[in-house]
Amino acid sequence: MRDIYIQDLEGFSNKLSEQATAVIEHVHLAINSFNQYDNGAALQLKEADQKINQLANEIEKEAYRLIALQQPVAEDLRLIFTVMSISVDLERIGDHAVLIAKNVNRATEESEKDQALTEIINKMAKMVFEMINDVLEAFSERDPIKAREIADRDELVDACLKQLYNESALRMEKNREVVNTGINYLAIGNSIERIGDYVTNICERIVYLKEAEIVDLNH
């Protein structure tokens, strides 16, 4: 009976991996839409987002089933709660990927791209994309040390967002015609920064899973 339950827990974790794969594709597509001015990505992401939400619902239902099936030991309960929490964070990351594409959609092909601001956005996106991949690896390895290191990187993302705000403000003060463009850049930057925050949340879940300790890794 215990062996069957362990298999169920493994399948439960695998469902999270499926959701994570979909989210990674989401974020990748969103950033590509920004760089390529792909106005069609928003609709594509909105449709794909339904899969992420569906997986989140399946994970939640399976969690309740696993808890009701038998009285899980403390370690099993931590895994169940951790997977549920990470699933919610992944769902929100997917939502912000959709927001990025929507803000790209609000821009027009005629809008002149600001090279400096674009570089800041891409720098943020690269850092966050690496954080997502690394945190999923840390979860797979149940590595709280790696999780803490990943969370520390979020400070660099925050610093880039501050730089983006400063640079955008300077441009909008000098030229009122670029206000809408500046707002779009800031909205995209905010979504990327929020994704970094959700990755940090996942880092906290990993520490809880292995150390049975609730920590705050948001600096």
List of domains in the chain:
2-211 (1.20.58.220)
Q: How many CB atoms lie within 10 A of CB 152?
A: 13
Q: Tell if the pTM clears 0.85, that is, is over it.
A: yes
CA atoms within 13 A on the CB side of 6: 3
Which of these ranges, 104-108, 134-138, 182-186, has the smallest mean pLDDT? 104-108
Task: Tell me the pLDDT tens digit for each residue of 172-199.
Answer: 888 887 788 888 899 999 999 999 999 9
Which of these ranges, 36-40, 63-67, 129-133, 168-172, has the smallest mean pLDDT? 36-40
Predicted confidence (pLDDT) at residue 147 exceeds the cutoff of 70: yes
Spatial contact of 21 and 94, defined as CB atoms under 8 Å apart: no
Predicted pLDDT at 111:
59
| Gap between the Cα atoms of 139 and 82, Å rounded | 10
- Residue 96's closest CA among 204, 199, 218, 216? 199
Task: Tell me the pLDDT tens digit for each residue of 8-18.
Answer: 888 899 999 99
